[in-house]
Amino acid sequence: MEELTNIRQAREGDPEAFRALFDGHRQQVFALAYRYLRNRTDAEDVLQETFIKAYNGLPGYDPAKGLNFAAWLNRICVNASIDAMRRSKVRETGPLGPEEAAAMSAPSHSSDPERSARSAEIREKIDQALARLTPTQRMVFTLRHYQEYTTREIAQALQSSEGSVKKHLFRAVGLLRKHLRKYVVEDGYDL
């Protein structure tokens, strides 16, 4: 109820009401963008862009259509993230930023240094394999595997059909299997 009031007031141009919406949803939007882009600065930019677009799009947002505000923001974030990834393709294949490199080399739960190094190597290979997917394949896989969206919810977020989402998902998994086969076989991961 409070959120609806904030939406109405923000639509009238009240920045404080919009700030309340920002505070309530910033974490969820940032987590989605970061999971997809794997870069704090890019994810911050997408967070900012998402809320600016949301503000400008408020007159067109109608909660009565059944899409809640969080899902609507996620949809904007998804599109902004795909655009950001397209813009930063060159940077993406470049060296990691200090924060990402630190996260990559952070010790795992194991105290065995050799195992930690192996784990960091595999994590890097997974990131590289994800980076080799098309922006849409990557977003579909991110939303399904990490964010636990259903294919129907992804179709809504991407404004696409469920069949198309499934095709992207199958291709993404097929490509990941191809790029990571060496590690799947060598490390003998199984359920």
Residues lying near another protein in the complex (CB under 8 A) are found at 10-13, 15, 18-19, 22, 26, 30-31, 34-35, 38, 40, 43-44, 47-48, 51-53, 55-60, 76, 79, 83, 86-87, 99, 103, 106, 119, 122-123, 126-127, 144-146, 150-151, 159-161, 163-164, 166, 169-170, 173-174, 176-177, 180-181, 183-184, 187-191
Nearer to another protein, 2 or 102 (CB): 102
Nearer of residues 2 and 109 to another protein, judged by Cβ = 109
Widest CA span of the chain, in angstroms?
59
Q: How far is the CB of 94 from another protein (least distance, A)?
A: 17
For CA atoms 134, 136, 138, 140, the dihedral sign is: negative
State whether residue 151 is helix, strand or coil.
helix
- Least CB distance to another protein at residue 183 (A): 6
Number of Cβ within 10 Å of residue 101's Cβ equals 13
Comparison of 2 and 99: residue with beta carbon closer to another protein: 99
Rounded to the nearest whole angstrom, what is the least distance from the CB of residue 73 to another protein in the complex? 12
Smaller CB separation from another protein, 1 or 65: 65
Nearer to another protein (CB atom), residue 34 or residue 92: 34
Instruction: Work out the burial of residue 160: count CB atoms within 10 Å of its CB; fewer than 13 is exposed, 13-18 middle, 19 or more buried.
Output: middle
Q: How far apart are the first and last CA of the chain?
A: 44
Q: How far is the CB of 93 from another protein (least distance, A)?
A: 16
Smallest distance from another protein to CB 178, Å: 10
The b/e string for 34-50 (b: 16+ C-beta within 10 A; e otherwise) is bbbbbbeebbebbbbbb
Separation of alpha carbons 12 and 136, rounded Å: 35
Alpha helix (H) ranges present in 38-150?
A: 40-57, 69-87, 89-92, 98-105, 113-131, 135-141
Q: How far is the CB of 157 from another protein (least distance, A)?
A: 12
Query: Residue 35 or residue 132: which is nearer to another protein going by CB?
Result: 35
